[in-house]
Amino acid sequence: MQQKDGIKPMVNTVTPLQEIIETGAIITHFQPQVSLKRKAVIGLEALSRGFDAATGEIIPPVALFAQARDSETRLALDRACRTRAAESFAALHRRDKSIMLSVNIDATCINEETRGSSHLLKLIKRCDISPSNVIIEIIESRCNDMDALLEFVRFYRKKNFLIALDDVGAGFSNLDRIPLLKPDVLKLDRALVSGVDGQFHKLEVARSFVQMANRLGCLVLAEGVETSGEALCLLANGVDVFQGFYFARPAPGLDAVPGMADKVNALAEKHRHERTRRIAEEKRLFSSYDLTILTMCQELSETPSRGLNQAMTRFLESYEGVECLYVLDMKGRQASDTICNPDKLKKSKRFLYEPARLGTDHSLKEYFLPIQAGLEKFTTDPYISLASGNLCTTIARVFYHKSCGRHLILCADMSREESACES
């Protein structure tokens, strides 16, 4: 039967893996790594596929490597893929010396027997590629010999290669190995990136990696980016380099460096517009907060000590968006009960989230230390409240309580939307 549109029928048999390795029947596609701040493609990740010459069928990477069931075959396949990647990249490197090559190393192949082979170094030199243009991507959780991996990393770093940890934030990544390997690049896993613009907990994890990377002096790259929302959210929170279908799908040769100026410029403009809008929105919001807190402090300053709880209860009924209220003394001790909106408390998680009681020590809390240092008012970044279990911002403000003749601090937990991508 004729196949329509000239598409060949699928054939169940595939070229034996050994034949693919020996004949070099491997195709390398490259996926761009894009810097939005530089508005340029700065790197290409090499992705290998097998090729069945008899049928013309492309064998996806997962299916290809699944056939390599023993260590010797995996090493041979890994080296064949690396060889094809370097040879394919060489022509691009001659045209543009600034673009980086990201090449994956199967960490299961790094062991006592292979770590001194210098196979990659010899390959890169043979292809006339500068080692400083090569990023070695490693999924460290797959390594069975940590000593060999550390020696491998030290050797190639001395030769001016860069080291990237892949799949960071995935279920099996071991964070304790980051300070051991001292990577130059952290690649956030697509499972963490997917939907990050709508999930506060994912965003906080991504933020923690960005903050850690900034302190360690390494770059964060987000892979698996499929929407402009994900890119904009991560860009607003410190990520600059992106990889994923939103920008470009993997492609061979020069086709892998597409003209994406219009897309990048549009995204940059949208980022500027969104940042301007959010700053204006935050300014209006916090102006409203300041007026609310100031009004409450003025009333509390005239309220007898025994009437503080009753006054704060009235505030919850009068001011929308106020979740919890409590008063501290200038040593950080709680001088009132915590008065909360009962509709906002998570009754199913009372073991985790419980409003603090009279006498609780808040002296190490983020909102108290700046007050102790001399500020009259301090506003925290959004966080999950220990009182309610909800996303909130705490505003702490000093006021003079006339009844007891001393300064006190009003703390107000203001509700925030958990679905928003905070920047």
For residue range 364-406, list pLDDT tens digits in order. Answer: 999 999 999 999 999 998 888 877 778 889 999 999 999 899 9
Q: What pLDDT score does 111 carry? A: 83
Residue 1's pLDDT band, with cuts at 50, 70 and 90, is very low
Q: What pLDDT score does 9 carry? A: 46
Q: Which of 134, 136, 133 is nearest to 98 (CA)?
A: 133
Residue 66's pLDDT band, with cuts at 50, 70 and 90, is confident
Co-location of 194 and 96 in the same domain: yes
Co-location of 194 and 123 in the same domain: yes
Co-location of 39 and 98 in the same domain: yes
171, part of any domain? yes
Co-location of 151 and 250 in the same domain: yes
In this predicted model, which residue has the larger pLDDT, 116 or 340?
340
Q: What pLDDT score does 376 carry? A: 96
Q: Are 178 and 140 spatial neighbours (Cβ–Cβ below 8 Å)?
A: no
pLDDT digits (tens, 9 = 90+) for 183-213: 999 999 999 999 999 998 899 999 999 999 9
Burial class (CB in 10 A: 0-12, 13-18, 19+), 109: buried
In this predicted model, which residue has the larger pLDDT, 65 or 232?
232
Co-location of 182 and 60 in the same domain: yes
Q: What pLDDT score does 349 carry? A: 54
Q: The domain spanning residue 368 has which CATH number?
A: 3.30.450.20
Co-location of 255 and 355 in the same domain: no
Query: Which residue is associated with the tokens 């940890």?
Result: 165
Domain boundary among 233, 259, 285: 259
Co-location of 255 and 280 in the same domain: no
| Total tally of structural domains belonging to the chain | 2
Q: Are 148 and 111 spatial neighbours (Cβ–Cβ below 8 Å)?
A: yes
264, part of any domain? no
For residues 102 and 113, give the distance between their C-alpha atoms in angstroms, rounded to a whole number. 24
421, part of any domain? no
- Mean pLDDT (the chain, rounded): 87
219-238: average pLDDT: 94
Co-location of 220 and 295 in the same domain: no
Q: The domain spanning residue 241 has which CATH number?
A: 3.20.20.450
Domain boundary among 230, 259, 288: 259
Helical ranges in 61-158 per DSSP H: 61-66, 71-95, 119-126, 146-158
Which sign, positive or negative, has the C-alpha torsion 14, 15, 17, 23? Answer: negative
Q: Which of 389, 386, 410, 390 is nearest to 398 (CA)?
A: 410
Q: Are 216 and 182 spatial neighbours (Cβ–Cβ below 8 Å)?
A: yes
Co-location of 296 and 409 in the same domain: yes
Q: What pLDDT score does 353 carry? A: 67
pLDDT at 14 over 70: no
- Phi/psi at 182 (nearest 5 deg)? 50, 60
For residues 127 and 112, give the distance between their C-alpha atoms in angstroms, rounded to a whole number. 26
8, part of any domain? no
Question: Whole-prediction pTM value?
Answer: 0.76
140, part of any domain? yes
Q: Which of 110, 212, 102 is nearest to 153 (CA)?
A: 110
What is the CA angle 195-199-200, rounded to 5? 145
Q: Residue 226 sits in which domain range?
A: 13-259
For residues 142 and 107, give the distance between their C-alpha atoms in angstroms, rounded to a whole number. 6
Domain boundary among 208, 224, 259: 259
Q: What pLDDT score does 186 carry? A: 94
Secondary-structure breakdown of the chain: helix, strand, coil percentages, each rounded to the nearest 5? 45, 25, 35
- What is the token pair recorded at 77? 């396949």
Co-location of 227 and 289 in the same domain: no
Which sign, positive or negative, has the C-alpha torsion 262, 268, 273, 274? Answer: positive
Co-location of 402 and 307 in the same domain: yes
201, part of any domain? yes
- What is the token pair recorded at 181? 């390997």
38, part of any domain? yes
Co-location of 34 and 183 in the same domain: yes
Cα dihedral 328, 329, 330, 332 in deg (nearest 10): -50
pLDDT digits (tens, 9 = 90+) for 118-173: 999 999 999 999 999 999 999 876 778 889 999 999 999 999 999 999 988 876 66
pLDDT digits (tens, 9 = 90+) for 232-252: 999 999 999 999 999 999 988
240, part of any domain? yes
- What is the token pair recorded at 97? 């010396």
Q: Going by C-beta distance under 8 Å and a sequence separation of 6 or more, which residues neighbour residue 161?
A: 120, 131, 132, 134, 135, 136
